[in-house]
């Protein structure tokens, strides 16, 4: 556990994007995604422009392209859905390579593919350049209700511990010669999920008592790190503003 709590998508690089305060990055990602989703699907050029913008951000953040591609495979189920759409769609149809494809389905597939991919890449860039702790700090500064940031803080802090608990239980089971791996052996899996819950809940009670005995009264002390400067807000506003400019020009 000494290895810090970096999440699997974080890429530690010395780049200007990494140094930006987290709240400006969250705001910029959200605004950019909203502009992308609001763009009509017929504006092919606009989507190309957005992709170029993201490529520039990735280059400044020193996030390699194939790293992004590999992580973007999370949207693969959606791509499969998008491929099915032209065949399943209704309305006017065109014939291409002997296949009858629905025009509306083609547009729909393009829409889902383009907006989905741009959204995933934008989120990946945010995740790659922001640590977990900074992200929560950013949400807190964006006036996200404290209940949520606190629950999320505890969740991320204890996630690794619980995952390790689960791993230890699995190792214990394996070393006793039992390796449930098929549907009819699911009981062993479920029982260990049950004991994982017990361990988590009892740990929660202990953590709460430990906190109360150290003076917890329902609020956590704020971690101090430099707030975003106006200059940082301007820098990160470049992404959504450029996207909005592209959207306006294309329409």
Partner 1 sequence: MQVQAMHIANGIVDGPVSAMFAVFAALALAFCVWRARADLDDRLAPMAGLVAAFIFAVQMLNFQVLPGVSGHLLGGALAVVLVGPWVGALCVSTVLIVQCLLFADGGLTALGLNITNMALIGTAAGYLLVAALMRLLPKTPAGVGATAFVASVIGVVLASQGFVFEYWLGGTTHLSLATVSGTMAGVHVLIGIGEGLIAATTVATVARVRPDLVYALRRFRPAAPAPKPVPVKEPAA
Q: Show the site string, 171-210: x = touches partner 1 by CB under 8 A, - = not.
A: ---------xxxx--xx-xxx-xxxxxx-xx-xxx-xx--
Q: Among 58-66, 92-100, 105-113, 228-236, which window interacts with partner 1 (CB under 8 A)?
A: 105-113
Is the Cβ of residue 106 or residue 242 nearer to partner 1 in the bound state? 106
Query: Of 49-57, 77-85, 228-236, 238-246, which segment contacts partner 1 by CB under 8 A?
Result: 77-85
* Distance in Å, CB of 215 to partner 1, minimum: 12
Binding flag, residue 37, partner 1 (CB under 8 A):
yes
| Selected binder of partner 1 within 51, 62, 158, 173 (CB under 8 A) | 158
Q: Does 111 bind partner 1 (CB under 8 A)?
A: yes
The verdict on 103 binding partner 1 (CB under 8 A) reads no
Among positions 24, 53, 58, 114, the unique one binding partner 1 when judged by CB under 8 A: 114
In SS3 terms, the chain reads as CCCCCCCCCCCCCCCHHHHCCHHHHHHHHHHHHHHHHHCCCCCHHHHHHHHHHHHHHHHHCCCCHHHHHHHHHHHHHHHHHHHHHHHHCCCCEEEECCEEEEHHHHHHHHHHHHHHHHHHHHHHHHHHHCCHHHHHHHHHHCCCCHHHHHHHHHHHHHHHHHHHHHHHHHHHHHHCCCCCCCHHHHHHHHHHHHHHHHHHHHHHHHHHHHHHCCCCCCCCCCCCCCCCCHHHHHHHHHHHHHHHHHHHHHC
């Amino acid at each position: 556990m000494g290895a810090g709590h970096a999440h699997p998508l974080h890429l530690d690089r010395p780049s200007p994007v990494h140094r930006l305060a987290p709240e400006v990055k969250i705001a910029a990602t959200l605004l950019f995604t909203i502009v992308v989703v609001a763009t009509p699907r017929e504006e092919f050029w606009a989507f190309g422009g957005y992709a170029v913008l993201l490529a520039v951000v990735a280059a400044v953040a020193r996030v390699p392209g194939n790293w992004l591609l590999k992580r973007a495979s999370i949207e693969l189920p959606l791509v499969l859905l998008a491929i099915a759409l032209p065949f399943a769609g209704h309305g006017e149809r065109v014939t291409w390579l002997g296949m009858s494809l629905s025009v509306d389905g083609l547009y729909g597939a393009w829409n889902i593919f383009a907006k989905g991919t741009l959204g995933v890449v934008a989120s990946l860039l945010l995740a790659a350049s922001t640590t977990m702790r900074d992200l929560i700090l950013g949400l807190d500064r964006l006036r996200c209700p404290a209940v949520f940031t606190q629950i999320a803080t505890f969740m991320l802090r204890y996630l690794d511990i619980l995952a390790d608990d689960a791993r230890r239980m699995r190792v214990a089971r394996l070393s006793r010669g039992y390796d449930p791996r098929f549907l009819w052996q699911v009981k062993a899996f479920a029982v260990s999920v049950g004991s994982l819950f017990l361990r988590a809940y009892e740990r929660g009670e202990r953590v709460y008592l430990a906190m109360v005995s150290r003076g917890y009264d329902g609020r956590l002390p704020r971690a101090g790190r430099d707030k975003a400067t106006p200059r940082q807000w301007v820098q990160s506003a470049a992404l959504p503003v450029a996207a909005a400019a592209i959207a306006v020009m294309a329409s």
